[in-house]
Amino acid sequence: MKVLIVGSGGREHAIAWAVAKSSKVEKIYCAPGNAGISEFAECVPIGAMEFEKLAAFAKENEIDLTIVGMDDPLVGGIVDVFEAEGLRVFGPRKNAAILEGSKAFSKELMQKYGIPTAAYTTVTSADEARKVLADSKFPVVLKADGLALGKGVLICETPDDAEVGVRMIMEDKKFGSAGDQMVIEEFMTGREVSVLSFCDGKTIKPMTSAQDHKRAGDGDTGLNTGGMGTFSPSPFYTDEVDAFCKANIYQKTVDAMAAEGRPFVGIIFFGLMLTEDGPKVLEYNCRFGDPEAQVVIPRMKNDMIEVMEACVDGRLDEIELEFEDNAAVCVVLASEGYPVSYQKGFPIHGLEEFKGRNDAFVFHAGTKFSADGEIVTNGGRVLGVTALGSTLVEARANAYKASDLITFENKYKRNDIGKAIDEA
Ligand code: AMP
Ligand code: GLY
């Protein structure tokens, strides 16, 4: 089989790593890819939003399956473009990717189908927002409706904070049209857990759990980022929590989407909060998490292509997902100054230490080859170093040891990834 992967981050590197292990695959392309992905795949200089060019490439090169890793092309309808050309593609159509693309949609879906989530109101103007906020309990959470690079969620402690947020999202349009609507949501407290799942439109198979660290600084301080590190499994995702989510959240979501005429094929990422009143959905994403993929995929025993093909063919019920009985921790190495401003183009040293290892991996996020063929930094999040261990504590020690093998100027990492493991 020939496979095309669309995306360029650590998540796509982890997907490419898994796809390369499949006995069914003879050739992998990645558009646009990065320096690390080029170890497994031929990188093609086509952007993830260039749907027509990507489809033409897939046709010309007789691609048997395209895997879309990123949210923007999925929400933008890349799957519909590929399907219209008769191309096989793994990911939700536009009318299903809306589960991530519109928070107003996902909240309404959860309310209509009785899926546990925070109480909310959707507003379409700043004045309407002010009226709702006048009667709200604080803290309150404001969410721009559309995609906003993970920055469209504001937790407001006071009415003054909320006024700043309303202006930012709905009047100054800091996130563009993503702020045409806004969700005003009850603030919840509890531990956060991510559960990714495969779906074929009818059947859903959850993967092992994971936990992200979204803030830039140690102790969960500083700005929100795409994710500074992850661990899997989450010790807080107990059998009891799993049973609750299976009964009240996962299948209900897939059934709700099907009932709405929006069958979901691909990955549903459940962002859950374990509240005192039980698990509730914080958010849905329509793709693997980044860096959740970097800890979940290395623990998966199945052939990735077999599972994805079963999703596309609507026979996921035939597949049993299996994960290693071990643990994984990923420490993201970023450029100092991320997520605001940072320098790039610095040579990365130590990558060769990971060649041939099957207990520790480097997944590239923002890297590229310099003109003289050296691998250099090329983004805010540069690399994710994942290590396995028989326990979370062991995996964490291994991940930090492995992350020290890599050096580059302005290297920045959090030093407390997996701290919650000690509180379990
Ligand atoms: P989201 O993009 O919806 O996951 O929001 C980003 C982050 O904001 C989440 O991971 C939570 O940490 C936080 N958050 C979102 N919604 C709420 C809520 N209703 N209560 C408390 N924290 C929230
Ligand atoms: N790490 C969070 C996300 O991928 O949305």
Write the pLDDT tens digit of every residue in 16-30: 999 999 999 999 999
Give the ligand whose atoms come closest to the C-alpha of residue 191. Answer: 1
The pLDDT, as a whole number, for residue 149 is 80
Q: Atom of ligand 1 at shortest distance to CA of 152?
A: 2
Dihedral through CA 97, CA 103, CA 107, CA 113, nearest 10? 0
Write the pLDDT tens digit of every residue in 112-149: 999 999 999 999 999 999 999 999 999 999 999 999 88
The pLDDT, as a whole number, for residue 85 is 97
Regarding pTM above 0.85, the answer is: yes
Is 212 a pocket residue for ligand 1 (Cβ < 6 Å)?
A: no
The pLDDT, as a whole number, for residue 150 is 76
Domains along the chain? 2-93 (3.40.50.20), 119-186 (3.30.1490.20), 191-318 (3.30.470.20), 327-423 (3.90.600.10)
Mean pLDDT, the chain, integer? 97
Is 185 a pocket residue for ligand 1 (Cβ < 6 Å)?
A: yes
**Cβ(334)–Cβ(412) under 8 Å?**
yes
Write the pLDDT tens digit of every residue in 295-313: 999 999 999 999 999 999 9
Over range 182-210, report the average pLDDT.
Answer: 98
Q: Which two tokens stand for residue 245?
A: 């989510």
The pLDDT, as a whole number, for residue 125 is 96
Write the pLDDT tens digit of every residue in 75-122: 999 999 999 999 999 999 999 999 999 999 999 999 999 999 999 999
Q: Which two tokens stand for residue 79?
A: 């799957």
Give me the DSSP letters along 345-360.
--B-B-GGGGTT-SSE
Give, using CA atoms, the residue closest to atom 3 of ligand 2.
Answer: 289
Q: Rounded CA gap, 414 and 10, in Å?
A: 17
Write the pLDDT tens digit of every residue in 387-406: 999 999 999 999 999 999 99
Write the pLDDT tens digit of every residue in 237-275: 999 999 999 999 999 999 999 999 999 999 999 999 999
Question: Cα of 411 to ligand 2 centre, how many Å?
Answer: 21
Q: Which of 196, 211, 270, 285 to mutate to test the pocket of ligand 2 (most atoms within 8 A of CB)?
A: 285
Determine the angle formed by the axes of helices 304-313 and 10-21, rounding to 10 degrees. 100
Over range 65-74, report the average pLDDT.
Answer: 97
Determine the angle formed by the axes of helices 251-259 and 94-101, rounding to 10 degrees. 130
The pLDDT, as a whole number, for residue 115 is 98
Rounded to 5 degrees, φ, ψ at 166 are: -60, -45
Helices (H) and strands (E) counted in the chain, each on its own, are 13, 22
Q: Which two tokens stand for residue 154?
A: 């504001």
The pLDDT, as a whole number, for residue 70 is 96
The pLDDT, as a whole number, for residue 269 is 98
For 3, 199, 282, the CA distances from 123, given in Å and listed in that order, are 42, 31, 18
